[in-house]
Structures are given as structure tokens and as C-alpha cells.
Structure 1
């Protein structure tokens, strides 16, 4: 029976939940990549772009230092490392899950030592040295199929193929010669999928025999790598068959030539909408990771698709604080507004508590915690919580005198501190909240909502500090937060 989802993909220190689609953002630190070559060649610009993609919805940043476009010029491992090592190091230091797109074992090993979590090998771990890197580390492994036959996957199958030559200024069509009379719109699926799935299965077994856990392996059929558009369409239509092999499946079609062929988008950068459509088709068939250039656009499309097509309610907790005006009333109104957020409801709210000021805030704060259920993507929910703050007159630090930044009064503060099965890093949102375990003003209110929050959070991987080591200690109870 076809499995529709997978619990986790184990990648180094990270366990990526695949109960919903995940986005791998493409970060090419190259001068010649087909879509964005040269845009991020500078390390500082590349790091900034990687961090921006996290805020746009990327779960993983895939860093590459060598183009694999048709006609690309190979680079040495040393040159590739010089390009990507500063970027990988900086993104890892920010807490990002970093994938390294490389075919060089020495580069992969170096990046794993820096803290990268995934090796994305376009040659499919056919190099025994790359297999050893996988065996010697705990990295996630992406096995990609790259057809080395320039004549395509099924040269014995008659086809009439139109390819779009991205190197031509006007995107003119280059016809592939007709090898024999054509009677069907697409080549036969069976011989193509035997080759693709046979290779992916063989390489997975090589990794398994080397000691790589099955939960670390992900498959990628390699769209566009010496494949005709007809063959790529056949492969995409067979996504459900590849998913049934029992490994997470990566959909890496972003801006590829065949995407332009089926959509009519001749310019590379105009293919993002078509890319999103094909990604959604793959997700609908069971793929759970998509690799894309335009993270913001594809994230928006996938979030909308997932919200209307899948029941995916998750538990979460929002920490609330107020130190202006009728503080308890502000907490109650915030809970009411959170309950009005689409695809979200408040299950329960703790009592309000007086707490000591913390993190530079000048006055005592009234705090509470709301338990919620939500079907929104965490970043979408975070935007809605910011709207709640705005509606209650929250003045943000950016609008204050710099001397008051972080310490000024706040009508309401809404911190999304935890969502079931979710981990994320970014300037906009980090989950679980990095300071959750040290905040007495969160842990104590959570005791109103569950028997043992310390044990609950420990199970979720959050260490709760002993009370004497916490900040923002609770000093008094202020009563019930009446919101219903």
C-alpha cells in the first residue's frame, strides 16, 4: 500500500518531520548556474539570501558551488570549497539545516565537519568515497539519478521532442529528430521507470549495506539531467511509484527546461508559477520535499494547497504578555482575537500571572499562555499573531527611540513558542522558541494547561531550567483570563 507520509527524515542532529511538505531553498554560490548564476557568488550576499529564504518558508538551505547546467564547466574540489565553506559555516552558526549540493567527497566531508546536515549528491553516491562520507557521518543523503546517456533514457523508444535552448536569446525551439513514426504523445513508462527506480533502489541498498540508516535516505529522480521533456513528464506522473519504494522523495523541478516546455514559459525566471504547479502535483502523489529557487512564491502556493486539501490540526502554545493599561483585559482580548484566526482555535487559556520584568523590560508584566489548535503553516500563523499585536496597539522596537529598544511598554506581546512536530530557524520565527525553557512566566502558566510541562517539553526536546535559574519569575496570580 502506498505510504502517503513519513514520520521523519534524519539528517545529522536534525529530525525533519515529513507529516507536511518541506521546502529546500536553492542557494547557488556559482557564477554560471542556469537560473541565478552570479547573484550569490559573494559569500556575504549568499548568507543574506539563505537567511531570507528561511523567513520565506524554507526548511532547508541547499548550498551548491558547482553548476550542473548543460555544458557546465567542472570545478575542482578546492575551488568549490572556497566558494561554499564560508556560506555553510555562517548558515550553520545561525541554526539552519544546511544541505550541500556536491559530487566531491572531500567537499562533502569538510562541510559535514562544519555542521552541515545533508549531502545532495547529483551522481547518486556512485563514488565509493562519497559512500564512505555517508557511512562515517550521520548526514541525510539525497540520491539523485543522472542519466549519463546523452540520447535520453529510452533511446529505443520513438519520440519527437522539442527542447527549449535556454542559451538562445529568444528561447527558440530546437527540434529533436524523429527516430521513427510516432503514435503516442509520450514514451512508454515501464522502461523509463525501470531504469530510474532501478538505479535509485540499487544506490539506496549500497548505502544501507555501508551502514547508513534507512531513515537518512531520500530519493531524487533528477529531472532535467540528460532527460527529454517527455521523459521528465513520464517520471513526474510516476511519482506515486517512486514514493512506494519507502523513502522520502525530493521533487527538484525548479525552473527546469521541461517546466518551460509544458507551461510555455520560455524565460527561466518566469517558470516559478509552473514550478509550483508541478511541485503540488508531486506532493499530491506523496513527495514531501521540494527544491526550489523562489521560496516565497512556492511556499505560498503549497501552504494554500495544503490548508484546503489536508486535515492537519496541530497543538501549539502562544505566550502572552502585557505591561500597559488593563493588562489582564489585554490578555483576554488577545486570546479572543487568536481564536478568530482562520483554521485556528483556542483550546484553553491559563490564568494571568504577575511576573518580574525580564530582557530589559522596565516594569512588571502580566503573562498568560494560550493553548491552540491550528492548521496554518507556522510562519503564516506568526503573521496573524503580529496582526493581533497591531490591532491592540503594540508599538514595535523599530518605531521607538533606539535607547528604548527592547524595554518599552507593550500593550500585548504574542510569542509562538511551540507547535507540535515543528522546528524552524529564522529571524522571523524560531521553533521551539530558543528561550522557552528558561522563562518562568511561560512554564508556570503552562501548569494550568497540563500536568507536567517540564516532562512534556523535555519529550519535545526542550530543556527546562530549574526554577532558580529561570528569568521572569512569577510573583503573584492575577486571576482568570476571561475570553469566551
Structure 2
């Protein structure tokens, strides 16, 4: 079945599929934040939180160390770098797709050298030095609209401005007018400015040598904009998507979310944020920048699952070295086939394999090919439930390598890459496991070629672990 969207966002070595919405988790280490405030700043806490965001469902971690409270000067490049560099370095080492949120070209250049894949520039690459940085790298670029002024004096009435969760310079004041009786200002004049700026800056980057597929645009809600203007801009999401660049929805806890939901405290605006994010996704936005990753992931994944046909190919590696091993493999396949929005397409033979990774006894292994419409992290939860149903016991001292009735490893899902302690895709050891690669030969003509095309490094047979020693026959699961 053809999927609706084959677009990708090229971010350094990462090609991020936009066939489904992606979540950019905000890792705020600014002086006014919970992680970055106080006299002492502990980057280790920030790294820990970043890793938690990955397990909660973030596809990208946006590290922000430079924004300061309203009315204060921005941090110097050196002060900002001291905050973000150790965090970026650690998250990149963990395999995360990292975005650096900065207006300083020197900080951006430093972080990209450390492995950051995206530069998120709140000034929209109006600094020639920042343009030069991206022209010399292959990172993704987020162009945000912020022209440091109001969008005009055309609003028909004064609005109540609630405090924004990410303060900028003072909001502009406009004269009252009694000549118009419209609830919102005219869309045309606002969108000419926003879309004009975003288009101009995108062309500036492309003239500097940045490929089109590296560019993402963000209308910059809350940055020198009144709530009425932000609503107008959000309603024009489909028009911005038509510009041909991935669109970032960055409304999380912003002042206009409070204005339309009636919630004063920015920390309580997450439900309102989910609603606006769903509206944006429905109109074509594919990247969502949010504070509450777990809540947003639950809302967006649920919306996507019931509103879009999005079936993907995947492979689950199965292993058992306790009791009736074939029975456990067979029952695991049956339970996987019962997972909602998931079906088993085919199953390899069961194979006897050499012990690997500290396992003491030979293992019976197989691979199941599946189709699923679930988010990979949601699917992983179901696979863990299959293990629980088959009475797998886990000894923390054996680091997952002890005896098990069943082991269900989600090894690959079409178009997906993810990092985290809960799930890494493709599986980081997929290319060295003979007990996965040989069973996959039952399911496709050339799994090595298939995996290499998907970006998986596959080692030669003699260098692999868990070599297959015997064919145990067909798994009769249907």
C-alpha cells in the first residue's frame, strides 16, 4: 500500500523520514530553566533528561542553552557553549539526532563539529556568519520567522497577552481601532510577511550551497507576535506546507496557547499544545517541538494510528534457550500476530545457534517478518508484554544475557531510526548477528544487500556472532 508522504529531511548523516510526524523534544538548559538555573549548572542532569526524552518518544533532541528571560541580554557565545557542548557531545555519543538551538554562529559550528545534526536558528539565518556555517556542513537547518517587530497595526482590537513560556523582547503595542469588527486580523498581510521571510531565507541558504532537502521552516509562534496573529498563522499551516519545505510546529506552552485555552500558567498548557499540534499535523506539519514529549507522543501517535493507513515492514528476532524452545517461539509468533494494528507476514525456520553475548547454552532462534501501523516505541511495549506473557524473567545482574523463555528484539522497521535505552533502530548489533541474518534468508532473497541499503553495516560471515549450527525446522504458528 502506498503511503501518503515520502518526504525526508536530510540532517547530516541522518535521513529523517517524514512519512509520519516526528517529535523534537526540548532540552532547555537556559539560565531560567529547571535544568539550567541556579548558581551551579550540572550538564550530567541535562544529559540524563535528554536520554529520557528519547525513551519517551522524541526523534530529535533540541538543546537550547542561549535564551534568557525577557529584558535580559542573550548569553555570550562562550557562556552558551559552556552549557550546551558537554550535553551535545554526550547525546551524540548515545546515537541521538541532536539539534542545537542557537543564534551564535560560533556555537553552531562547534556543536556541528561534535556531531549535532541540525541548527535551529531563531533569527532565521539572517547572520551571514551562520549562513557560512551551514554552507560548510551538511546539517539540517530550521529557519524561524522573527523580524523583531510586530506584524503591523491592523488588528481590530487589543488582546490580552499571557506570559509566554519562552520570553522574547517586549511585545509591541498597537493603537485601538473601532473601525473594524472582525475577530481576527487579515490573513493576507500577515502571511505575506511570514511566508515571504521564510522563502527569502530559504533561497539565501540555497544560494550559499545548502540543498533544498536540508531546510525546514518555522513560523516562530510567540516571537514578537500577538495571539491573534499566531492563530492566523496556525490556520495557514497548509499554505506554509505548500512552500515545499518540512514545517516545524513549535507552539509548545506559548502565550497564544494560553490565550485560546484560558490557561495562565505555561506549565499547564500541555493539553492545549497537543490540540494545536494535532491540527498542525492534520494540515501537513511533520515536526513538533514540545516540552512534554511523553504526553505529545501519546496524543500524536494515537491520532496518527486512527487517521492514517501507514503500514510498515519490520523484522522481530526471536530467541529461546529454556524448556520447550520451539513451543515458546511458536507461541511468541502467535501473540505478535495478535498485537493491534500488526500482523505476522511470514516466519523463518527455527535454527540452533551458538551462544553469544555471555549466554551459557545454545539458543533456538527465528525471525518474524511483520507489518505494523504502530509507532516503534508502542510496538516495543507490546513485544515486552509478549515476553511477560511467556514468563520471561530478567536478572539485572545478567544484563539481559541470562536464560530466557523468549526474547523479542525489534531489529528493523521500515523508514525508522531511533536511539535510546528502550529501543534503538535499526538494532545496533543487527549486522553482526548470524542468528538473525541467516533466518532472514528464509524471508527474502538477499538480506545483506537489503540491510546495507538501509544503512546497516553487515560484517562478513566469519566475523559474526551466534553462528547457526542446525536447522530445527518450520515453525507451525498459524
Confirm or deny that 1:199 pairs with 2:193.
no
Alignment counterpart, residue 235 of structure 2, candidates 234, 237, 241: 237
Aligned partners of 2:156 and 2:184 also within 8 Å: no
RMSD: 1.8
Alignment of 1:9-24 (within 5 A): 9-24=9-24
Query: Deviation per CA, 1:232-282, whole angstroms, max 9, x where unpaired?
Result: 000000000000000000000000010011011111110011101101100
Tell me what 1:432 maps to. 426
Q: CA deviation at 1:479?
A: 1.0
Rounded Cα–Cα distance in structure 1 between residues aligned with 2:476 and 2:309: 29
Paired position in structure 2 for 1:445: 439
Given that 2:164 and 2:253 are in contact with CA atoms closer than 8 Å, whether structure 1 keeps it comes out as no
2:407 aligns to what?
413
Aligned to 1:60: 60
Following superposition, the deviation at residue 353 of structure 1 comes to 0.4
Per the alignment, residue 153 of structure 2 pairs with: 155
Q: Who is 2:129 aligned against?
A: 129
- How far apart are the structure 1 equivalents of 2:444 and 2:399? 34
Deviations 1:331-366 (A, max 9, x none): 000000000000000000001000000000000000
Q: Which shifted more, 176-185 or 305-314?
A: 176-185
The answer on 1:368 being equivalent to 2:366 is yes
What's 1:289 paired with?
287
Tell me the equivalent position of 2:355. 357
Q: Which residue of 2 aligns with 1:395?
A: 393
Which residue pairs with 2:169 in the alignment? none
- Partners of 1:30 and 1:41 within 8 A in 2: no
Once superposed, which parts of structure 1, at least 4 consecutive aligned residues long, lie more than 4 Å away? 174-177
Instruction: Compute the TM-score of the two structures, normalised by the length of structure 2.
Output: 0.95
Give the distance between the partners of 2:62 and 2:157, measured in 1 at CA.
34
Matched residues in 1 for 2:367 and 2:52: separation? 29
Deviation at 1:219, TM superposition (A): 0.2
**Structure 1 position 175, deviation (Å):** 10
Equivalent runs, 1:27-38 vs 2, <5 Å: 27-33=27-33, 38=37
Instruction: Decide whether the 8 Å contact of 2:145 with 2:220 is kept in 1.
Output: yes
**In the TM superposition, what are the counterparts of 1:249-260 in structure 2 within 5 Å?**
249-260=247-258
Q: Would the alpha carbon gap of residues 126 and 188 (structure 1) be closer, same or farther in structure 2, given more than 3 Å must change?
A: same
Match of 1:454, SS? helix
Tell me what 1:171 maps to: none
Deviation sequence 1:407-457 (CA, Å, 0-9, x none): 421000000000000000000000000000100000010011111111111
Which residue number in structure 1 is paired with residue 296 of structure 2? 298
Q: CA deviation at 1:176?
A: 7.2
Name structure 1 gaps, 5 residues minimum. 168-173
- Counterpart of 1:189 in structure 2 is 187
Q: Is the 8 A contact 2:11 2:138 kept in 1?
A: yes
Is 368-377 or 5-14 further displaced after alignment? 5-14
- Pick aligned residue for 1:344 from 339, 342, 360: 342
1:219 aligns with 2:213: no
Change in Cα spacing, 1:425 to 1:138, as seen in structure 2 (3 Å) is: same
Residue 311 of structure 1, aligned match among 309, 312, 321 = 309
Instruction: Give per-residue Cα distances to partners, 1:9-55, cap 9 Å, x unaligned.
Output: 0011111000000000001111215x876399420110000000000
Count residues with an aligned counterpart.
469
Q: Does 1:472 align with 2:473?
A: no
Query: CA, structure 1 residues 303+41, in 2 after alignment: closer, same or farther (shift >3 Å)?
Result: farther
SS in 1 for 2:100: strand
Unaligned runs of 5+ in 2: 166-171
Query: Aligned partners of 2:70, 2:45: CA distance in 1, in Å?
Result: 26
The alignment's TM-score, normalised by the length of structure 1, stands at 0.94
